[in-house]
């Protein structure tokens, strides 16, 4: 092929790192990329005008190229809203949807999701599925699994599903395996939360942010079984009149740092912990009366086993 660029009075420069993403980028994302390399890239209005996109779609395109490592957004041009802040469904035109559907199995995906949720999708709900598939580039299997998860947790809405997908995407959970791990953690946390609610007598009231943090730390970060949390609860109630998760958190933190991971670990640790505490109190008392407590213990041990000279 023989050709030459006719630069005229203007030149656009693009990084070579964008080349691997040209095939996967949408037409809007490509237009935004080109606009970014021009004088239009100074303001949101200029970019939207040059690329012929809305502010919401501009924000999505910026995030796409940012995650691709092609651009580094140091400050987002006003008045662009933070991407995905309100989870507004992108405005796919009929032409966009037809183009995407002709070259993919997204129509089947829409039908499968509708069957899982037991409803007929509105055009806006179908657009949300198109966005997850085309905008976020999530796999068919990923979206179906996420849809079933949303149904199983009692939130069978496309708005909740889209919001969850965006949150997972922003956190790097973009493969089916990573999604399964996320669902497993959430299901375990939900089951443990129910048990902890019963233990604390919380009922159906909304948990405070601090309570949520405590439960997440015990269940997810420390991976403690319920039996250990229950032991911590009763240990706490032996010291204070009313249950308080932050108080139990200190107890569980001590056990965890001492290597306790099971009920048996805690039961073995508690006598040892009590003995260490009593010995420490005696050592402090011994300092006040001026003698070495370790020598005292050693002498007492000799007397106890009958090896002292006086007993021979």
Residue 245 has pLDDT above 90, yes or no: yes
Predicted model pTM: 0.48
Residue 89 has pLDDT above 50, yes or no: no
Average pLDDT of the residues in 220-242: 91
Domains of the chain: which residue ranges? 1-83, 94-174, 185-261, 282-306
Q: How far apart are CA 236 and CA 252, in angstroms?
A: 10
Q: What is the pLDDT of residue 96?
A: 73
59-63, 87-91, 152-156, 176-180: which is most confident: 176-180
Q: What is the pLDDT of residue 203?
A: 83
Percent of the chain with pLDDT over 70: 78
Helices and strands counted in the chain (H then E): 14, 0
b/e 211-224 (16+ beta carbons within 10 angstroms → b): beebbebbbeebeb
Q: How far apart are CA 64 and CA 151, in angstroms?
A: 28
Q: What is the pLDDT of residues 150-193, one digit of tens each?
A: 998 888 889 899 999 999 998 889 999 999 999 988 888 888 88
pLDDT averaged over the chain?
Answer: 80
Q: How far apart are CA 294 and CA 20, in angstroms?
A: 71
Average pLDDT of the residues in 78-107: 61
Average pLDDT of the residues in 223-242: 92
Number of Cβ within a 10 Å radius of residue 68? 16
Q: What is the pLDDT of residues 269-301, one digit of tens each?
A: 887 655 554 565 566 666 655 555 566 566 656
């Amino acid at each position: 092929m023989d050709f030459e660029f006719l630069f005229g009075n203007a030149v656009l420069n693009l990084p070579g790192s964008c080349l691997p993403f040209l095939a996967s980028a949408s037409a809007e994302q490509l237009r935004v990329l080109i606009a970014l390399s021009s004088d239009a890239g100074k303001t949101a209005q200029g970019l939207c005008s040059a690329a012929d996109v809305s502010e919401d779609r501009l924000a999505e395109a910026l995030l796409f190229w940012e995650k691709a490592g092609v651009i580094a957004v140091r400050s987002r041009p006003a008045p662009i809203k933070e991407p995905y802040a309100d989870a507004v469904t992108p405005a796919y035109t009929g032409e966009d949807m037809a183009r995407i559907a002709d070259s993919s199995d997204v129509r089947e995906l829409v039908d499968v999701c509708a069957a899982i949720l037991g409803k007929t999708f509105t055009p806006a709900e179908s657009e949300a599925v198109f966005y997850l598939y085309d905008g976020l580039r999530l796999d068919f299997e990923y979206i179906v699994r996420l849809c079933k998860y949303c149904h199983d947790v009692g939130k069978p809405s496309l708005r909740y599903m889209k919001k969850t997908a965006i949150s997972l995407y922003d956190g790097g959970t973009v493969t089916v395996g990573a999604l399964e791990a996320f669902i497993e953690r959430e299901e375990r946390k939900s089951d443990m939360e129910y048990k902890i609610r019963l233990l604390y007598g919380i009922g159906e009231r909304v948990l405070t942010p601090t309570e949520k943090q405590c439960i997440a730390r015990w269940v997810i970060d420390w991976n403690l079984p319920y039996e250990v949390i229950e032991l911590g609860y009763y240990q706490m109630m032996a010291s204070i009149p009313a249950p308080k998760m932050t108080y139990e958190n200190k107890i569980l933190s001590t056990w965890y740092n001492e290597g306790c991971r099971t009920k048996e670990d805690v039961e073995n640790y508690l006598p040892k912990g009590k003995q260490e505490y009593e010995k420490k109190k005696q050592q402090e008392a011994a300092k006040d009366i001026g003698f070495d407590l370790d020598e005292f213990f050693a002498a007492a041990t000799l007397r106890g086993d009958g090896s002292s000279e006086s007993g021979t």
